[in-house]
């Protein structure tokens, strides 16, 4: 039986030598490997890495022209976008200036002593600086003038309710044009 096993091993060795082209050697784990054809793992990895890097370089070289064209398109788009933003900013600046001019004009018109007279038939006229209500002619005062009057009365030690009564008697309308003067309103104006 031992001879049979020896012959079997010899036949296997000769088959391995025939296919591998060289002698075989037994590794530590007990497996037989062909001796000359064996490459190291590092060599195979290096070769794979070189092949991959060549492939990547080829892909990059093929992609460069299309990347350049896309970059040029992006640059053109950015230039157009900045031009549009600049025109939009200019338009907004013009809009703000016109709004400022509009409100300044309204403010100066309201600060001017605009007066209205109401006639018996209900028609409105504007004679220079007079308001005629209930057949009583009164001078129209600006907000700053009314506040100055209130502060002067307060310096003369008038109470808040006395100042309110005085303004009512003189026929000076409130800043809103509605209602009557009250001591609390005078108090708030004196605090400012």
Strand partners, 32: 26
Please give the Cα distance from 45 to 155 (Å, whole number).
99
pLDDT tens, position by position, for the chain (192 residues)? 678 877 777 777 766 555 444 444 555 555 655 555 555 656 667 777 778 887 888 888 888 999 999 999 999 999 999 999 999 999 999 999 999 999 888 888 777 655 444 444 444 444 444 444 443 435 677 888 888 889 899 888 889 999 999 998 888 888 888 888 988 888 888 887
Q: What is the C-alpha to C-alpha distance for residues 60 and 66, in angstroms, rounded to an integer?
A: 10
pLDDT in tens, 18-44: 544 444 455 555 565 555 555 565 666
Q: Which two tokens stand for residue 3?
A: 């001879």
Is residue 94, in this structure, part of any structural domain at all? yes
CA separation for the pair 137, 68 (Å, rounded)? 82
Q: Which of 112, 145, 178 is the last residue of a domain?
A: 112
Provide the 3-class DSSP secondary structure of residue 157: coil
Structural domains counted in the chain: 2
Is residue 173 located within the same domain as residue 133?
yes
Minimal CA–CA distance to 169: which of 181, 186, 159?
Answer: 181
Residue at 95 is within a domain: yes
pLDDT in tens, 119-131: 444 444 444 444 4
């Amino acid at each position: 039986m031992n001879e049979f096993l020896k012959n079997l091993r010899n036949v296997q060795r000769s088959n391995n030598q025939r296919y591998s082209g060289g002698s075989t050697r037994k590794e530590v784990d007990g497996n037989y490997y062909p001796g000359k054809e064996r490459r190291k793992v590092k060599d195979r990895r290096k070769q794979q890495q070189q092949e991959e890097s060549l492939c990547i370089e080829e892909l990059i070289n093929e992609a460069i022209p299309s990347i350049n064209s896309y970059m040029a398109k992006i640059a053109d788009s950015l230039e157009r976008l900045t031009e549009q933003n600049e025109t939009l900013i200019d338009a907004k600046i013009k809009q703000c200036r016109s709004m400022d001019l509009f409100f300044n004009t309204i403010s100066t018109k309201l600060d001017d002593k605009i007066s209205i007279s109401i006639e018996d038939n209900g028609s409105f006229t504007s004679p220079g600086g007079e308001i005629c209500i209930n057949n009583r002619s009164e001078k129209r005062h600006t907000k700053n003038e009314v506040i100055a009057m209130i502060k002067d009365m307060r310096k003369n030690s008038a109470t808040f309710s006395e100042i309110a009564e005085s303004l009512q008697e003189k026929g000076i309308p409130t800043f809103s044009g509605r209602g009557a003067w009250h001591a609390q309103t005078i108090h708030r104006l004196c605090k400012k």
